[in-house]
Structure 1
Amino acid sequence: MLRTVLAGVVLSVSAVVGVDAAAVLPAGAASLESVGNPGRYVRHQDSLARLDPVSPVSAAQLKSDATFTIVNGLASPACYSFQARNGQFLRHRDWRLRIDTNTGDATFRADATFCAVDGALASYNYPGRRVRQRDFALWLDAVVDTPEFRADSAFRIVAPWAPRTTRNPVLPGLFADPHIAAFNGRYYLYPTTDGYASWSGTYYKAFSSADLVTWTDHGVILDHGPDVSWADNSAWAPAVAAANGRYYLYFSGGAAGGNTAKQLGVAVSGSPAGPFRDALGVPLVRSGQFSGGQAIDPMVFTDDDGRSYLYWGQGVARAVPLHADMVSFDPAQVRTITPAGYNEAPFVFKRNGVYYLMWSENDTRSEDYRVAYATGAGPLGPWTPRGVVLQKRLDAGIKGPGHHSVVRAPGTDTWYIAYHRFAVPAGDGTNRETAIDPMTFGADGSIRPVVPSP
């Protein structure tokens, strides 16, 4: 049976070149067919990777084992990782290809990252080695410029044998803490790049969509390494607001020099797709500047009168009016607005004259991570608790849904909630994925419970 080649991508070997020359692969579900052995596909069996025949009459499990999701490289956004349907990742260990659970440490991330260099699947951490079949087992071998090696190392990306039938996750791969917004007729998602032990990622990406289904990856928009002098770790929970004809990215970061004390920063761009540059060169909110809580999870709400408010905090929720420049505020005006049950991720919006404060309860590593809300008469409260609106759904394998944001479809009263959850089926508190579901209201303005969808 002829399989559809996705984006015309054929992987083959020639010279060894650097990551800067890496080819672009189509993100999402796919299968990898051997060019030298047509009809055989990369699959996993007893955790080991190999080439086996797959056809329309093959068993469903074999088709599933021969289907991977091409995702953001765990070690580099310039490269790719391949996630099996069981949630594990293709990686090399002792030069043998296998699938394993992502531990999030630097060694695993590098072992599970491959660069499509000149069409070949090159190892990220051993760029002189390529994925190659030997007697239908898959190995990471040093490049030899022979016809046999080229044939054994050539693969094509084709349509998946087991297409995904669920609507979530909306982004392939591991992304958390999604901030969703609508700018200029498009939706934008700004998530934390996940899959790192201790959430130690350093960069942010932006994605956009016209329909909340098909998303365009705009690449890295801010990287703590080269772009932020005062932070070099813990790139967490970004949020973007528009004002003054520009776009402002608010973000959390661990202090430079390996110091994990969290601070808040703000970056600016002329486009919602970035890239962004650090607007101040120093933190907007310093670690320890306000007593209690941790300076993470910034969010900005702009009221109908054009005034914007900054919210943030883990353990303690704080809020303050921003100055018109969007990059400063009066510390004397900072208020504590912590509701009962609050842990982190404050989010504020307004509907029909009512202000809604939402937040996440419990720990993001717990399957009981969830979202609750309160209502108020103003952007600073006071707030009346209204209860939990998003929580786990074990019958669908959904655990730990939280750290959300909401967006209104422009010109309508249709609302959506974006949030992260443990990656299904094998995720945890550092292996999370992004989902979107409708959010509806009762006649009294209450938020109806959101049923998280697979």
Structure 2
Amino acid sequence: MTARALLATSTLFTGCVVVLSGSAAQAATLPTGTRSLESVNYPGRYVRHLDSLARIDPISTAQEKLDASFTVVNGLASPSCYSFQARNGQFLRHRDYRLRLDTNTGDATFRGDATFCAADGSVAGSIALASYNYPDRRVRHRDYALWLDPVADTAAFRADSSFRLTTAWAPKTNKNPVLPGLFADPHLTTFNGRYYLYPTTDGYAGWGGTYYKAFSSTDLVNWTDHGVILDHGPDVSWADNSAWAPAVATANGRYYLYFSGGLASGNTAKQLGVAVADSPAGPFRDALGRPLVTSSQFSGGQAIDPAVFTDTDGRSYLYWGQGVCRVVPLNTDMTSYDPAQVRTITPSGYNEAPFVLKRNGTYYLMWSENDTRSEDYRVAYATSTSPLGPWTNRGVVLQKRLDLGIKGTGHHSVVQVPGTDTWYIAYHRFAVPAGDGTNRETAIDRLEFNTDGTIRPVIPTL
């Protein structure tokens, strides 16, 4: 066993589930983040890609180190399994049972082909990877090439299909993204002295994701994955997909998750819901069993992208809308409101993703301009002396940075470090380097104010 493998086995594989040889893989916990995979029976050979084809090779050159470094991420087809993203942004997947790299198309076939469920390997500290959509097949090497082969109950097959997860040959050095994998529309907030991040699970064609996860941190750098907190399939009776743009607020000793949802077939119009939990890490349950805001309730715009602002007097306001921006005071139960009090407050340039904060008595309404599929997706803002407006437009504060390959910066939220005047902005962007409007990642950067209270342009960073 190499020193790299010894490091991995001593730190990364506590709590793996033992499975019988030849059986379908069962859930073993892998650490997310950048890793390399070493062959068990050919120590010193690592999984890498060569001209898009996956194989195991010795590693020596700088390029080989890059080719042998993968980010272990949330499974594209299942949050209980895993996907492996290469440094070029593509994903390890099988096609005709051959392992290779391809760009995520977001359709169900690709997501299944690129998702692998982990089990214990042939020796302590090693793993085996079963195909999500062919659970009786495992990733194994044959003549140094990687294939998806039927499970065989032999010592040779078990060794050929076992790998050690090690520290990466080319570890991630950039600050962003803050979460490994594809996540968009991040809502960043604080509860009980801890930061919580609630994003849309991305990587689906047509943004057809079905569930939400929660992450928490004490430093905005190291994040704990709390798993799925609400799944439209079993948890929401009136929606089964389009799990978009969650936002969480607290009141009455409980936590309220506001979300967008739609149906995969039939009426595809989006609606807003609210779920409730006793913990910011969930699990959440649908509070009403019906939408909070229906698709036909108000004329114009689309009922998506909810955000809640709670003022210093304790009053909470719900903002939402694509094409049209609306606001209404919430009742104290946080799950109802008076429809007669709904106001339209659409500022010039507004498309979607409203967010409101308050600083030194000034209210800031922020939103996203252009389409999320455009590299020109960006954040602008306006100010007011009231959470209901009227609003004075102040211009764009976050936009693309092409010199670093950063595109599509938008759908943000802002958090204040408790007890300070330090602020951070969370937002999504096209995944760097191979992302697009459905393959997005979450970033966090500083948000700073000028002495007159205006917001300085945010500098997006890698």
**TM-score normalized by the length of structure 1:** 0.97
- How many angstroms apart in 2 are the aligned matches of 1:443 and 1:211? 27
Q: State the Cα deviation string for residues 288-325 of structure 1 (Å, max 9, x = none).
A: 21000000000000001000000000000000000000
- How many angstroms apart in 1 are the aligned matches of 2:405 and 2:372? 16
Are the aligned partners of 1:64 and 1:161 in contact in 2 as well (CA < 8 Å)?
A: yes
Are the aligned partners of 2:214 and 2:281 in contact in 1 as well (CA < 8 Å)?
A: yes
Are the aligned partners of 1:11 and 1:154 in contact in 2 as well (CA < 8 Å)?
A: no
TM-aligned CA deviation for residue 14 of structure 1: 4.0
**Partner residue in 2 for 1:23:** 28
- How many angstroms apart in 2 are the aligned matches of 1:8 and 1:255? 39
1:16–1:279 Cα change, 3 Å: farther
Q: State the Cα deviation string for residues 201-230 of structure 1 (Å, max 9, x = none).
A: 000000000000000000000000000000
2:86 to 75, 84, 93: 84
1:84–1:333 Cα change, 3 Å: same
**Partner residue in 1 for 2:373:** 365
Are the aligned partners of 1:408 and 1:415 in contact in 2 as well (CA < 8 Å)?
A: yes
- How many angstroms apart in 2 are the aligned matches of 1:299 and 1:60? 45
- How many angstroms apart in 2 are the aligned matches of 1:446 and 1:352? 11
**Partner residue in 1 for 2:52:** 47
Whichever residue aligns with residue 70 of structure 2, its letter is: F
Q: State the Cα deviation string for residues 225-260 of structure 1 (Å, max 9, x = none).
A: 000000001000000001000000000000475532
Q: Are residue 5 (structure 1) and residue 8 (structure 2) matched?
A: yes
Are the aligned partners of 2:49 and 2:68 in contact in 1 as well (CA < 8 Å)?
A: yes
Are the aligned partners of 2:137 and 2:148 in contact in 1 as well (CA < 8 Å)?
A: yes
Q: Are residue 423 (structure 1) and residue 431 (structure 2) matched?
A: yes
1:240-389 aligned within 5 A: 240-255=248-263, 257-389=265-397
2:215 to 207, 227, 230: 207
Are the aligned partners of 2:349 and 2:369 in contact in 1 as well (CA < 8 Å)?
A: yes
Secondary structure, in 3 states, of the residue corresponding to 1:231? Answer: coil
- How many angstroms apart in 2 are the aligned matches of 1:311 and 1:102? 33
Percent same amino acid among aligned pairs? 79
TM-aligned CA deviation for residue 16 of structure 1: 5.0
Q: Are residue 446 (structure 1) and residue 454 (structure 2) matched?
A: yes
- How many angstroms apart in 1 are the aligned matches of 2:255 and 2:265? 28
**TM-score normalized by the length of structure 2:** 0.96
RMSD over aligned Cα atoms: 1.3
- How many angstroms apart in 2 are the aligned matches of 1:261 and 1:50? 45
- How many angstroms apart in 2 are the aligned matches of 1:438 and 1:14? 49
Secondary structure, in 3 states, of the residue corresponding to 1:239? Answer: strand
Name structure 2 gaps, 5 residues minimum.
121-126
1:146-295 aligned within 5 A: 146-255=154-263, 257-295=265-303
- How many angstroms apart in 1 are the aligned matches of 2:30 and 2:184? 22
1:332–1:109 Cα change, 3 Å: same
Secondary structure, in 3 states, of the residue corresponding to 1:260? Answer: coil
Are the aligned partners of 1:232 and 1:258 in contact in 2 as well (CA < 8 Å)?
A: no
Q: Are residue 390 (structure 1) and residue 398 (structure 2) matched?
A: yes
TM-aligned CA deviation for residue 13 of structure 1: 7.7
TM-aligned CA deviation for residue 12 of structure 1: 9.6
Secondary structure, in 3 states, of the residue corresponding to 2:157? Answer: helix
